[in-house]
A and B are shown apart, each in its own frame.
Chain A
Amino acid sequence: MTIKPIAISLAVLALSACATKPKIEPVQERPVVEAPPQIFEDAKPTPAPVVQAPSIVQGPVFDPNAPVPGSMADFAYQAGGEPRIYFGYDRYDLTNEAREALRRQAQWLQTYEQVNAIIEGNADERGTREYNLALGARRADTVKAFLVSQGVNPSRLTTVSYGKERPIDGASNEAGWARNRNGHTNISSGAVG
């Protein structure tokens, strides 16, 4: 699921453009009807006058499930899934895929400048604890350096290494290890909602 930020801003523009042309009349207030004083009696309430609403014009279709802009969910959505990028075994260099994902993260972080994030570096279980702490730290620093190169103010980004302490997948196989070798951009403050 990859909706690029550029596509979204076009959609927003289209929506506002449509909103200005065919003037939608405000829905009229329903007249307030005083309830009859004898509440214990089986009196029928006066029916509300029916007001015909003007016809609704079809606006541009947008994803009804799209998260609130500026929220953590929105960050994940714009970043193309969970904001984690993945590394090779005992590697801390960025793959092309990781760079692409980080560019999207950086764009979002540039849009919402009040947001701060903690970059968490993680390693898979096939390494000893202390070495993996150093490896995780390098991964986190690599992610931070790339985001900073894309214009994110370094003071908004903190890094932490969890080594192999925070696996997201318990499986001891290639797929599980690959998921656990990641850099996670964890929004710490400033997100909407």
Chain B
Amino acid sequence: MKRFIVTLWTAFCTALISFGSAQAQLEIDITKGNIDPTPIAVPSFLGTDTQMRELGKDIAEVIRADLERSGLFKSLDPASFLETQTNIDYQPTFADWRVIKAEALASGRVVRETDTKIRVEFRLWDIFAGNQLAGLRFSATQDNWRRTAHKASDAIYKALTGEEGYFDSRIVFIDEKGSKTDRKKRLTIMDQDGHAPQYLLAGSDLVITPRFSPSAQKITFMSYENIVPQVYLLDIETGRRELLGNFPGMTFAPRFSPDGNTLIMSMMSKSNSDLYAMDLRTRSTSRLTNDPAIDVSGSFSPDGRKIVFNSDRGGSPQLYTMNADGTNKKRISFGKGRYSAPVWSPRGDKIAYVKSLGGKFTIGVMNPDGSGERQLTESYMDEGPTWSPNGRVIIFSRETKGRNGSNSIWSVDLTGQNLRKVNTPGKASDPAWSPLLP
């Protein structure tokens, strides 16, 4: 990961704080389905020269798109703006922004620092309270300018919702080509907004179920490179790929522990699928389940103490939790239907899953004790949920029915609102959302 500096613009903030009341009035409650997105104005960032001005325009565009996609904001049309700021260090004319019904204003500038480095500064204003909510400065190499935009989006999101954002993050997924009966699948990575998709592996081996390490530097996945498909580890930066262990049976459904030191996976042994934990430092494995049923799809709680998994030990696929050492197994899904693919939220408060009932597949969430079950989506086939770094958004694969059926990636809020298609270069499945980038 390239070096990226974020400095809280504290000195800058305190200088201006006296202009308005220190109390923010603008606050967005993201726990409710947001029916009325907050109108926000993001003019093109100012620039110290033509090239920086061009960059400033692009940065504002990326921010506007990020905020729009969240469903919490409505980005106002720059053509409607009455005031054109020429220096972001002066307070804006709040009345001009009130007229166009902006509730927040994010204005910034791009400064060239060296031939290859830029500095991006921006201020977020509460138009009704008439005060500054955030002031931030980022330094980055020029080719990393999109990340400065995503960092700004994260800062805006945090200032207005009180929660961490998720825009400076990436998605790893499976790019799909070909017809349903002749699919070619490739491991691919892109920015959260669909920008800069890149294949991560050469070759045409079938690769599925990629997952990020908590450092966002590594990916674990399953590959059919050998006759017996196995779990692999890939370093994104160096491209180094490694087979994890050499087991006689298939290993699959891998997922990192929150500290990144352990990998939980399923292994076939004597016609039986059980869960195992592999210590990535010693490569020793310990068995977590020992039941003749199918045990699969383990996912750690964010404190690393618990694991949720999928098992058909009760006669049909259901969700179970257990302690990280395999003790205290408890069934948590009791609704109608068949449950699978559980994933613990990074906030710890919810478990996302797939439920199939009446010929439909839905993405749902429940509390870790199984209560409060809620279905967020429904289609012929919705599967593979993965959480945004802040645990507020879920993205998943959706496959359409029939011979021409194909996969695409969708996102939905925890509230069940704001269902939208995620930009991908083509057909795509098996998404995994990275943590916020360092």
Residues on A close to B: CB < 8 A?
A: 90, 118, 125-131, 133-135, 137-138, 141-142, 145, 158, 160-161, 165, 167-172
Cβ of A61 to closest chain B Cβ, rounded Å: 38
21 pairs, CB–CB < 8 Å, chain A vs chain B: A125-B381, A128-B354, A130-B297, A130-B310, A130-B340, A130-B341, A131-B294, A131-B297, A131-B310, A131-B317, A135-B294, A137-B249, A137-B273, A141-B271, A160-B224, A160-B250, A167-B181, A170-B179, A170-B181, A170-B402, A170-B403
Interface size on B, residues (CB 8 A): 44
Other-chain contact of A169, B181, B209, B316 (Cβ < 8 Å): B181
Complex Cα distance, B407 from A167, in Å, reads: 14
The listed residue (B273, B356, B405) touching A134 by CB distance below 8 A is B273
Q: Shortest CB–CB separation between residue A158 and chain B, in angstroms?
A: 6
A165 neighbours in B (Cβ, 8 Å): 183, 185, 206, 208
Q: Check if B173 is an interface residue, CB within 8 A of chain A.
A: no
In the assembled complex, the Cα of A130 lies from the Cα of B267 at a distance in Å of 11
Given the known A-B contacts A127-B356, A141-B271, are A158 and B381 also in contact in the complex, defined by CB atoms under 8 Å? Answer: no
In the bound complex, do residue A172 and residue B401 qualify as a contact, i.e. CB atoms below 8 Å apart? yes
B19 contacts chain A at the CB level, 8 A cutoff: no
Q: Is the CB of A167 within 8 A of B266?
A: no
CA distance A158 to B206 in the complex (A): 18
* B383 at the A interface (CB under 8 A): yes
CB distance from A113 to the nearest CB of B (A): 21
With an 8 A cutoff between CB atoms, is B296 at the interface?
yes
Residue in B179, B180, B208, B227 whose CB lies within 8 Å of A160: B227
Q: Are A130 and B356 in contact (CB under 8 A)?
A: no
B183 adjacent to A129 (CB under 8 Å):
no
Closest to A118 in B: B227
Q: Which of A145, A165, A168, A169 has the most CB of B within 10 A?
A: A165
Chain A residues whose C-beta falls within 8 Å of the C-beta of B430 in the assembled complex? 129
What is the CA–CA distance of A192 and B431 in the complex, to the nearest angstrom? Answer: 44
Chain B residues in the interface with A (C-beta under 8 A): 179-181, 183, 185, 206, 208-209, 222, 224, 227-229, 249-250, 252-253, 266, 268, 271, 273, 294, 296-297, 310, 316-317, 340-341, 354, 356, 359, 361, 380-381, 383-384, 399, 401-405, 430
A137:B405 contact, CB within 8 angstroms? no
CB < 8 Å neighbour of B228 from A126, A130, A160, A168: A160
* CA–CA, A131 and B404, complex, Å: 24
Q: Contact check, A125 vs B206: say whether CB atoms are below 8 A apart.
A: no
Give B228's nearest chain A residue, CB to CB: A160
Query: Is the Cβ of A131 less than 8 Å from the Cβ of B271?
Result: no
Q: Chain A contacts of B381 at CB under 8 A?
A: 125-126
Question: How many pairs, one residue from A and one from B, have CB atoms within 8 Å of each other in the complex?
Answer: 98
| Residues of B contacting A172 in the complex (Cβ-Cβ under 8 angstroms) | 380, 401-403, 405
CB distance from B331 to the nearest CB of A (A): 16
A136 to chain B, nearest CB (A): 9
Which chain A positions have C-beta within 8 A of B222?
A: 133
The answer for the CA separation of A159 and B310 in the assembled complex, in Å, is 23
Q: A134-B294, A134-B296, A145-B271 in contact; A126/B405 too (CB < 8 A)? A: no
Partner of A131, one of B185, B206, B296, B359: B296
Per the bound structure, the CA–CA distance linking A167 and B399 in Å amounts to: 14
Taking a contact as CB atoms under 8 Å apart, the answer to whether B180 and A170 are in contact is: yes
Query: Do B181 and A129 touch (CB < 8 A)?
Result: no
Is the pair A131, B341 in contact by a Cβ cutoff of 8 Å? yes
Contacts A137-B268, A170-B405 given: A129-B294 contact, CB under 8 Å?
no
In the complex, which residues of chain A have a beta carbon less than 8 angstroms from the beta carbon of B224? 160
Contact A131 B181 (CB under 8 A): no
Q: Lowest 9 CB-CB distances: which A-B pairs, in order?
A: A170-B403, A141-B271, A134-B273, A170-B180, A130-B253, A172-B401, A128-B340, A134-B294, A128-B341
Query: Given that A118-B227, A134-B296, A167-B181 are known contacts, is A129 also in contact with B399, CB under 8 Å in the complex?
Result: no
Query: Is A137's CB under 8 angstroms from B250's CB?
Result: yes
Q: What residues on A are CB-neighbors of B180 within 8 Å?
A: 167, 170
Given A169-B181, A172-B401, A172-B402, check contact A161 B250 (CB 8 Å): yes
CB nearest neighbor in B for A172: B401
Residue of A127, A128, A135, A171 contacting most chain B CB atoms (<10 Å): A128
- Chain A: CB-nearest residue to B404: A170
Contact A133 B271 (CB under 8 A): no
Q: Is B402 a contact partner of A171 (Cβ separation < 8 A)?
A: yes
CB nearest neighbor in B for A126: B356
- The residue among B208, B294, B340, B380 with the most chain A CB atoms within 10 A of its own CB is B294
Identify the interface centre among B179, B296, B317, B340: most chain A CB within 10 Å of its CB.
Answer: B296
Residue pair B252, A130 in contact (C-beta under 8 Å): yes
Which partner residue on chain B sits nearest A145 by CB separation? B271
A134 to B252, CA, bound (A): 9
